[in-house]
Structure 1
Amino acid sequence: MRHRIIRKILVGFSLVLLLAIAAARAQESKDPWDGPNRDKWQCPEQVMDVLGLKPGSWVADVGCGSGYFTYHLADRVTPQGRVYAVDIREKLISQISHQSLSKWLIQIKPVLGAPDNPRLPRGRFDAIMLVHSYHEMPEHDAMTEAFYRGLRPGGRLGIVEFAAPDTQPRDESYKRHKIPASTVKEEILHHGFQFVATEPGFTVPGEDWAKQYFLVFAKPEQWKCRDSSLRSE
């Protein structure tokens, strides 16, 4: 009798444990920011297509965070290309450095940037992308100048941000973690970029407030003669 009771208790405990694990996994699978789930709504392949990325391309992921886009970019450009993963947080850059080395992703170059300098080589990049990071930049003028210098003639600058009403003051962007598209467009054009398009945006599932827009700019082609000799590494 005693053994039977103990066995029932163990079986019951096992069932509870299994249910808890299943519930935890179900909760994880619903997280829209989890890698595979994020792919469904963030559409990284579409973003890279818009930026014209292909094997051999050079691209910078500025404000790369934990590297969600960095690794997608690495797959797209292959070892023939280069992905500069830039962030000002040393811990995140260290993590990306270790992960890229462990996966033999030689095309990834982690870069510890500064608030006013992404430390990008001049005239090298086919595209520079900023996902949820432009609003975080207090020195956005200096950063945008650096993006312009870093792009080759015709290179594209893609900015994905959370939408905000046009009436939102610029100095509230950092606190609210969103910025009006009109503000971004005005600031980027001020530094010599050409506006290319407003691409279809994205909405985080279950978070209707979190609507993202996708703006694309380009460095004018007329600077080709000035910058064409700067592409070699």
Structure 2
Amino acid sequence: MKYSSKTLLILLLLCTIASGQYQEADWDYRDQWMDVDRIFRMAGITPGDHVADIGCHEGYLSMHLARTVGKSGQVYSVDVRQDRLETLEENARSRDLTNIRTILGDYDNPHLPKAILDVVLIVDTYHEMKSYMTVLEHVKKALKPEGRILILEKLKAHARNKSREEQVRSHTLSSKYVKRELKEAGFEIVTEIGDLGKWEEENDKTMWLVVASKM
């Protein structure tokens, strides 16, 4: 199939927009609008912890996590694409970070080690999970007793009062659905923030997070 030059330009722009803030070149900008330290404090992450980053892409959060948990801690970085994990490993080597282990996950199973994790983070990824209840069950098995899960998403203004299915089609999700699913999976909501700032500083995309504990 042949495309016009205009169509090819549009496709290129869409790919660039879609990859923004996930690639290393955009990480400095992401530090400006995402308060990572606050997010980690909300999750209760401390030096020596074993943590997981599900949907890690090229490792933005994983790099921050590796520095926070220190050499006595461990980061498990999970993605469903091997090319992203290979880039993450390169990014870690260039920063002399040796406490990151990459895991090639499946869409319904992050393949985490059992019962050793203090915290699991799922950031801007949960809305993509079709088998989300299955994933939550795997996360629960991977956590220590009273281990915690943190889910962060962006809620787009136009989808605020839409059904879950409609929101997912718009690549967004409301916390009300996630809290219900966490409770159904056997987690207890510990804390939540409804407005954590604007995703990529766009006024129609409000970040929220929920922290829940394994019961």
* TM-score category of the 2 structures, normalised to the smaller one: 0.7 to 0.9
Q: Name the count of aligned residue pairs.
A: 189
Q: 1:190 aligns with which of 181, 184, 200?
A: 184
Instruction: Give the 5 Å matches for 1:23-102.
Output: 33=21, 34-102=26-94
Find the counterpart in structure 1 of residue 209 from structure 2: 214
* More displaced 10-residue stretch of structure 1: 65-74 or 195-204: 195-204
Report deviation, 1:52: 1.2
- Measure how far apart 1:202 and its partner are: 2.0
Match of 1:135 among 127, 130, 133: 127
TM-score if structure 1 supplies the norm length? Answer: 0.76
Please state if 1:108 is matched with 2:103: no
Task: Report Cα offsets for 1:154-212 as digits up to 9, x if no partner.
Answer: 11111110125564222234321101111111111101000111135121354101111
1:10 match = none
Q: Tell me whether 67-76 or 90-99 shows the greater mean CA deviation.
A: 90-99
2:204 corresponds to 1:204: no
TM-superposed deviation, 1:98: 2.5
TM-score, normalised by the number of residues in structure 2: 0.82
Answer yes or no: is 1:176 the counterpart of 2:174: no
In structure 1, what is the equivalent of residue 142 of structure 2?
150
Tell me, in whole angstroms, the C-alpha distance in 1 between the residues paired with 2:112 and 2:78.
9
| Structure 1, unpaired ranges of 5+ | 1-31, 221-233
Displacement of 1:39 after TM fit?
A: 1.6
Shift of 1:109: 0.5
Deviating more after overlay: 40-49 vs 203-212: 203-212
Q: Percent identity?
A: 31
One-letter code of the match for 2:213? A
User: Please, what is the CA RMSD of the aligned residues?
Assistant: 1.7
Distance 1:43 1:206 in 2: 12
Comparing 186-195 and 39-48, the one that deviates more: 39-48
* Structure of greater Rg: 1
Q: How many Å separate the matches in 2 of 1:103 and 1:86?
A: 19
What code does the residue aligned with 2:59 have? Answer: G
Q: Could you tell me which amino acid in structure 2 is paired with residue 129 of structure 1?
A: L
Aligned 1:5-16 pairs, distance under 5 A:
none
- What's the secondary structure of 1:194's corresponding residue? strand
Give me the whole-angstrom Cα distance separating, in 1, the residues matched to 2:168 and 2:134: 17
Q: Would you say the 8 A contact 1:168–1:179 is kept in 2?
A: no
Gaps of 5+ in 2: 1-19
Structure 1 residues 40, 175: CA separation in 2 closer, same or farther (over 3 Å shift)? same
Equivalent residues of 1:162, 1:211 under 8 A apart: yes
Paired residue for 1:13? none
Offset of 1:88 from its aligned partner? 0.5
